[in-house]
Chains A and B, each alone.
Chain A
Amino acid sequence: MSASTTGKKPLFNRRRDIKFFNSLNDELLNRIIQTPVTVYKISTESETNIYNEATTKTYTKGLQVGCLVTHDEQVTDASDGFGPVVTQNITVAFHREMIAARGFYPEVGDIIEWNEAYYEINAVVENQLVGGQIYKNFSIVVTANMTQRDKLNIENVRVGTNDQRI
């Protein structure tokens, strides 16, 4: 039951509480945990071909934000004949209020740079409702898979020697 339907002030999860949660999480993410990621938001102006793929993508300038990163272990699979191929999935939880203040919203296809690797967001979950109230959505949790940096057009990967891989 929300405040607007009864006209009475709610006892719990009031604006003051939410503000308290926000300040607490802001401090927690940015000053205590300190695991920032850099997010590159893909530009929808990138030209696509008939296969619906953009061979040269453009991104917004990387935005560094504090978050909670949960990562799977790297999995190495050599069964398809190309030698060891490494995959890794991560889950990144953003504080909604914090990223909203920076004018940023993660979507499927955006790139996250973390731990010297790039991850492509493949799912976005927004289900952390404070008190179950839909207008008090608290976090944005995205899952992302490690992606080949050669297709991103963020950095030049075709340079260096074997022992100086980038």
Chain B
Amino acid sequence: MAINETPERNKPLVDSQLSEQDRKTYANDPSKTNRAHQIKRSDDEFKNIAVNIQDIDEAILFYFNQVIKPKVIENQVEVDVPVIYGDPESWKAVQRDGFMRDKKGLLLVPVVMARRTSISRDDSVPVDKADRNLVHQFPIKWSTKNRYDRFSLLTGAPRKETYEVYNVVVPDYVIINYDCVIWTTFVTQMNKIVEQIYYSEGHYWGDRKKYKFSTRIDSFDQNIEVNTELGRIVRSNFTLNVRGFLIPEVANNQITTQKTFTKQQVVLGIETEVSIKDVK
């Protein structure tokens, strides 16, 4: 982490807060644009780093469906338990996810549902929100600007190389809670699913090719309901606690991943082969 010399991501100050010096800077004078800040990004291979809420939701569902893969035995046959995000649109639930319902629209259980209920600040990772100039720096050592050329050959590479540096804002560390419901027909099925999920509690959930987040489950509430509408149903509720971080791709109308170059130097030295005494 380093202090960014040019606080690009700062919100523009209101005019009353500008000093006389500020008014003279390039940033406040549209006619004098600082071209050092105009760095082309179109041919970058470095993608902007952004972690949004949907990434975390996808990580959780990915882990449920691809890693935990809850299964139960139903009528002596092993059955995959679908895990869905809560409150789907009706057409999706009934028409596309038709495998989860019979032709009368009755839900086929077991099924697991998860839905995000809250996002709160993670106080265990303090971040100075007032100073948005703090950045993580990701230097890329090889740059097209350091190509070996004839000048280097002649001069013995006296240049100090430049590095591409990608400055990414410090994330907002958050705790995201998911309310999850397991709905089964039998307690034995519920036991199996709870065992499988609880085994993964405390692990980092997510796709290893993307992002993974620390998780925690404190308890599973279990109850058996018998009512005249649905008959006997076995349900378990638990809260999945995810410690995540958020980096918006664009904040305050600026991209949060900024590219900069370190300064290049051409070092000129003096070499003498003849002493002044020998010059006559």
Residues of A bordering B, CB below 8 Å: 49, 51, 53, 55-56, 74-76, 78, 80-89, 116-117, 120, 122, 143, 145-151, 153, 157-158, 160-163, 165-166
Contact = CB atoms under 8 A, between A and B. Distances in A.
A82 B183 CA distance: 10
B107 A148 contact: yes
B77 A83 contact: no
B47 interface: no
**Interface SS, A side:** loop
Contacts of A56: 75-76
A55 B94 CA distance: 27
Contacts of A148: 102, 106-109, 185, 231
Contacts of B250: none
18 contacts: A51-B187, A55-B75, A56-B76, A74-B104, A80-B181, A81-B86, A83-B88, A83-B90, A83-B92, A143-B228, A148-B108, A149-B106, A150-B75, A150-B109, A151-B74, A157-B102, A161-B99, A162-B96
Interface residues of B, number: 43
B111 A162 contact: no
B97 interface: yes
B186 A117 contact: no
A158 B79 contact: yes
A86 B108 CA distance: 11
A51 B186 CA distance: 8
Nearest to B86: A81
B10 interface: no
A123 to B, nearest CB: 8
B176 to A, nearest CB: 17
A81 B102 contact: no
A117 B181 CA distance: 26
A49 B102 CA distance: 27
B33 to A, nearest CB: 52
A84 B94 contact: yes
A117 B77 CA distance: 22
